[in-house]
Chains A and B, each alone.
Chain A
């Protein structure tokens, strides 16, 4: 039996809507009940809201540009140096910043740039500088990982022609690389924008004070401090609307590729020493930038009570929880993303490009509804019927899977579209359907991006603090929550040890998943 692609995808979309809209409805309903003060309507016209909105957008736009533009250069440098020693290790390092809890990043950034740091910046660290430093630390490596595979799809003949025609570096970029970047860049920009827009602890702490309040903070304040669920929901919708607007803008700029894309071996041209030196400098600078805060963490952790801690059962319980939540969320997220992208790719193949984009966008954009809103709303809906404590794992996993979807869409989307465009007819003619089609066609073609997607979502979910902090207690605590609890109890050196353990776990999981699922790197990426 053939199940039309639209059915599982609609199911996923419906589930997404349910997961996001139902909690918001629950919260709105709550605020209509007697006993809750109606929200202060003046708030919507207040200078405070305007300031918060302006600041959120401003810092997010700056952070995005400072992360993604250098990332293009760094990814390009990596692509041009396929034989670089330790290349895989460096790229593994680039997957780490994503999982470091915000408070640990703040400490790392301060270790490097603080007044007693290695590269002291003094008071000027606090404000937009600190925010940018931390956001670029998070997002530049992510953007590098997402952009790097693009160089692999450039036909080798284009490089050879470029060389024969005597193109300089700029012309090569303009005629060969840019057209291909243009398809993927908007999605990466949107993703990084969303990540920066919803940043919270980093912005507040490094931002120097309430001048640096984002919409995310305002939502937190509405729900926690003022307990005004209606306002929280409205702010969340405002944030969603803002992202939709940005999505429209980025999509306008996007061009679907006009050429059949080849998977080629990296082109090893006889490049000049100058360009090699520039590439190595770029890679070195990026590695230092990403590595220094991590190194400071490592140094702190090695001075910590390492051996005393590894005997703690609570630590290993948290370790197991982290692994369990991360893996489950990654599988769920990739499964949901797979169905969505299959549908989107088949729409794109039929020329319904707008439809395809809307489906992908729906999968990505739910990210900006703060977990606090979803979790509180879910709690409102569930608590009259079930004991929410029994549902900690399913809820935390589901929300983390939701938060992972934009990454799945980013990693897997372009390859899925290409595979559809190239092989759909062939598969039809060979009557390759369902499992067989997956086994023989999609798995071998898509396992690399699939491996990256699963690995990314797994480490992201393992690093999650926003969701687990709302539900976790000691039995369900994860390593990030434990770090946060330790920091809250003077146990700073223990926290750094836990953080190191989390990083090592993430590095191992990332490498295993990416290599295990993605396969051996026969073509470097």
Chain B
């Protein structure tokens, strides 16, 4: 009886050690969100493609989302195992920048597909998309053609959106309306509010409810219909094009300051903006690649709406105002 316990403990310890054993080849650790590394995400293909050339092991660590990654990195400080962080968006870059935990990538991104030239010494984009309201063409014959029409028409389509406190698209819509309406955003929300069926915690609940037929439109991405076209050969879905333009989401990666393998990390970033990485993105992450243009896009993407002009608020004002704007939103929506 007495000898069993230490043996069990030793067994358990060696079992756990297996996970942390350092391989002989260098091990590059990337924190990312977990849908990136799932079977159906870009992760497995990215890992295979990068390991084929780098003579290293790429360890992709999945966390729930960008906020979780950044919080984790902040908590770990200089003890972090992470060499890279992949998967925060431009709404978080200001906060990430001020944490002082990132290191300059010293790479340049030329001729990107982004609407505006990319200038950022700490973060590099790897894909981007636009928020849009998605609808079923068979059920909604004439969708609104502008955000203002959507807001003003009190008999307009019913909506499913996400909570800006818990979801990226939710925050996206908040900023989108802020960008168009400025100080009158609260009035726009008040007008929209009666047609919002519900505000979900995350994208998946709202999108699931939409597919169950709970509302006419759901807040999602302009690229969502491409998924239904390519993966399900289902042509019923479309995103409504709004004249004012669509708010942008740009997903970025950055090197962690405390990394001991900055050269290798930089090589990964260079790989990330190469065509080998970029061609994986459209049909796994269902976003636009930042380089490669038409060559890496499946033909179905041609049928998607043109979201121009791209809308984006600068990261500093988002970082400063986000709390106030969310409080304003809460106030209107709780009435």
Contact = CB atoms under 8 A, between A and B. Distances in A.
A115 B213 contact: yes
A217 B228 CA distance: 32
A205 B64 contact: no
B34 A114 contact: no
B229 to A, nearest CB: 12
B38 interface: yes
A226 B326 CA distance: 11
A162 interface: no
A224 B199 contact: no
Interface stretch (B71-79, B140-148, B246-254, B258-266): B71-79
Interface residues of B, number: 61
B208 A107 contact: yes
Contacts of A391: 16
Interface stretch (A206-214, A252-260, A277-285): A206-214
Given A114-B214, A224-B67, A211 B333 contact: yes
A103 B208 contact: yes
B199 to A, nearest CB: 4
Given A211-B333, A474-B34, A205 B198 contact: yes
Contacts of B224: 490
Interface in A212-231: 213, 217, 220-221, 224-227
B76 A110 contact: no
A111 B211 CA distance: 11
Contacts of B330: 48, 210, 213
A390 interface: yes
A491 interface: yes
Contact of A383 (B37, B79, B193, B198): B79
Interface string A472-505: 1111010001101111111110100000000000
B295 interface: no
A485 B38 contact: yes
B202 A488 contact: yes
B212 interface: yes
B187 interface: no
Given A209-B199, A488-B204, A390 B286 contact: no
Contacts of A475: 19
A477 B34 contact: yes
A208 B19 contact: no
B198 A314 contact: no
Interface centre among A205, A226, A470 (most CB of B within 10 A): A205
Nearest to A313: B39
B310 interface: no
B199 A204 contact: yes
Interface in A189-245: 200-201, 204-211, 213, 217, 220-221, 224-227
Contacts of A175: none
A473 B34 contact: yes
By secondary structure, the A interface counts as helix
Contacts of A423: none
Contacts of B334: 48, 51, 209-211, 213
B62 interface: yes
Given A221-B165, A224-B166, A390 B16 contact: yes
A473 B201 contact: no
A103 B205 contact: yes
Contacts of A30: 75
B114 interface: no
Contacts of A488: 35, 202-204
A106 B209 contact: yes
By secondary structure, the B interface counts as helix
B198 A207 contact: yes
Nearest to B78: A384
Given A210-B330, A211-B334, A226 B323 contact: yes
A312 interface: yes
Size range of the interface on A? Answer: 35 or more
A350 to B, nearest CB: 31
B25 interface: no
B163 interface: yes
Interface string A109-142: 0110011110000010010000000000000000
A470 B68 contact: yes
Interface string A248-292: 000000000000000000000000000000000000000000000
A523 to B, nearest CB: 36
A402 B319 CA distance: 37
A472 B62 contact: yes
B64 A209 contact: no
Contacts of B76: 383
Interface centre among B64, B79, B286 (most CB of A within 10 A): B64
A379 to B, nearest CB: 6
Interface string B4-45: 000000000000110110000000000000110111110100
B52 interface: no
Interface in B226-284: 227-228, 231
B61 interface: yes
A482 B62 CA distance: 12
A469 interface: yes
A383 B163 CA distance: 30
Interface in A421-480: 469-470, 472-475, 477
15 contacts: A106-B209, A110-B214, A204-B201, A205-B205, A207-B198, A209-B196, A209-B333, A210-B329, A217-B165, A220-B166, A225-B326, A387-B81, A472-B62, A481-B34, A489-B40
Closest 7 CB pairs of A and B: A487-B204, A116-B213, A473-B62, A209-B199, A205-B200, A126-B198, A488-B204
Interface of A: 30, 48, 51, 103, 106-107, 110-111, 114-117, 123, 126, 200-201, 204-211, 213, 217, 220-221, 224-227, 312, 314, 376, 379-380, 383-384, 387, 389-391, 393, 469-470, 472-475, 477, 481-482, 484-492, 494
Interface of B: 16-17, 19-20, 34-35, 37-41, 43, 60-64, 67-68, 71-72, 74-76, 79, 81, 158, 163, 165-166, 193, 196-209, 211-214, 224, 227-228, 231, 286, 323, 326-327, 329-330, 333-334
Given A103-B205, A114-B212, 4 more contacts: A51-B334, A107-B208, A210-B199, A488-B35
